[in-house]
Structure 1
Amino acid sequence: MTPTNSRRPLGVAMIGYAFMGKAHSNAWRNVASYFDVPLFEQKVLVGRNAAGVKEAAAKYGWAETATDWRTVLERDDIHIVDICAPGWMHAEIATAALEAGKHVLLEKPLANTLAEAEAMTAAAVTARAKGVQSMVGFNYRRVPALALARDLIAEGRVGTVRQVRAAYLQDWLADETAPMTWRLTKETAGSGALGDIASHAIDQVLFLLGDKVTEVSGRTHTFTTRRPGASGLEDVTVDDAAWATLSLASGAIASVEASRVATGRKNSLQLEIYGDKGSILFDLENLNELRFLDATAPAREQGYRRILVSEPEHPYLDAWWPQGHIIGWEHTFTHEIRDFLLAVDGGTEPSPSFEDGLEVQRILNAIEESGATKSSTIHLEDSTAATAGTASATPVTVPEGA
């Protein structure tokens, strides 16, 4: 592996070119225009459909294409592998890339099963000892308003946190005639709203509070059990919605809700943090705003005030536009790539790590276990991998470019 302090550009390969591949490509194209980062080159875009990946590479700025990710890992000019493939492929590709000495950026969630996540984390720890870095792409950690919220909480501005409410609500499956996709079968997606978006909500609870979950109770539900597919009506084998109560080591309690059938909600990650000295409110559909209440002020002056997070003093914002000019969802990936490149170049551990991803996976597994067994509470140290499957990936068929 080329030393990261070399002046030779870091060669980047990205695997997957659909939704997340497009978002990540936009970040790779733009990050050096706004942030001081080490030199890199968008070397190779990988996808199974030769024509499809070639077209995507031309749009997204990649120099070459490949249809077999294994051959890309053999190349000496590839130093970073960005994995945007579906979850069922994460374990095999990430482990192989780490073993090949490639730095790995991996889309969330870490894996489809707890067993896979544990094996991947072990591989990441081994690779890190050799200077090979890895990171999970929980991009909402890079929303400036949420990074600011974390700072305010750490500074004690809300006091002791007692209660957190986290709800990630979408409605793209509210219509029962919406067609089947790979995201609706357990074999390919692992879970539904639980892994897809509840993972973001859970990661935010951990990120904002710097805390640890000790107990979990949860429930999942599938409202539409069959949807139209290539073979007629096909069985939906993952959840449409999930609910959980999380007990934290600090004594705080967090409620988490996720749904892909919440009619009228497009992409609403709502976070409410209540402490004994103040509280914070956030909604991803207004991602440049934070609501803050200072409960130490005189009662006649109390009330939520709107913070427009667009000043150069706010996290990440000094690289962008004049104050008051807002940024968008896509910028979170640019911030993510920036932080990852700086960690790789500096030989430091990027965050969130695979260990962080594993913690989220354990919580997801406990929610699923609690719902399946009708258990009121799962103690994480007692949670089994009964619903987690095995660490070996079983080949499955997924649409091209997924």
Structure 2
Amino acid sequence: MDRETKLWLVVLFFLFSATYCVVGVPQVPCLFIFGDSLSDSGNNNNLNTEAKANFMPYGVDFPAGPTGRFTNGRTSVDIITQLLGFDHFIPPYANTNGTDIALGVNYASGAAGIRNETGTHMGEDISFGLQVQHHRDIVSQLTTKLGTDKVQQHLNKCLYYVNIGNNDYLNNYFLPEHYPSNSNYTTEQYAIALAIEYSTYVKDLYELGARKFSLIGLNLIGCIPYEISTHGKNDSMCVQEESQAAQLFNEELKALVDRYNKELVGAKFIYVNSAFMKYSNFKLPDSLKCCKDKENGLCFPNEESCIGRHLHPFFDAFHPTEKVNLFTARCAYSSPIPTYTYPMDISQLVKL
């Protein structure tokens, strides 16, 4: 049995094992979330953008129904939140009025990227840099409540979850009709430029008090149904050029983890390898996804989704189903394979 087959069997085991998470005393006092539509829980709802998911069939399996999550149920970071012992999901920044921001805030925004222009052909979004600015505002509010010394002690113990960068390829580099980055950079140059910009935002978070970082790598973006249907050739299952370009960024991100673990005093960084899931047992892009999708790859509002959602890796043409999110969350939290997280998993990081 070759290595790839063994990895696929591990995937199947996790996909069809128990789906419930037990909450208890949180393992960290707070969780701050930065990212894109893989983590967005409602920040895009009131923006002028096509990148919205606050309507059925999104949320069909979520207790509160459609909330702005781009999946049928929980996102990966929702599940990680539960695995960490929280008895509630972290609220989106857009809905923080009257909530206890000391427990954490979700700043993620659908279509957003590391670069400010990423995703803007769909309308407004909240880029990584703007998310960091929002966090600066939250830290200022916390400082008013707790005082400078106490807020720093508090933030030092929190987990900072960063999952962003996929759109800098999907909704920027590989959309030359909207963005010039493809003609301005080679894939190697682009990965380096992205990593440099990403690192400045992460260092800003460190200077604001962050010490525990979980940096999530990019997915096999060339294996996303939308990319297969729009850029695939000769009935290919994946667009290798796109996945290989994203992998260059992942290599830069892993190197950043090593560098910042040495340079930033008191901080601990881990890298989570998301380029892991393979969908080789599905023969057609349409068999991967669950809802009827529009030209932009998102679900048609109020259309029914498929019945066997647990059997489909993608809900729309871009975003995974809750079943896949469960797998990725559990692997990030407690890695079954050493190569999935580096140099440790989330469960080990939060104990430091």
Q: TM-score, normalised by structure 2?
A: 0.30
Larger radius of gyration: 1
Higher RCO (CA < 8 A, seq sep 6+): 1
Please state which structure has a larger fraction of its residues in strand: 1
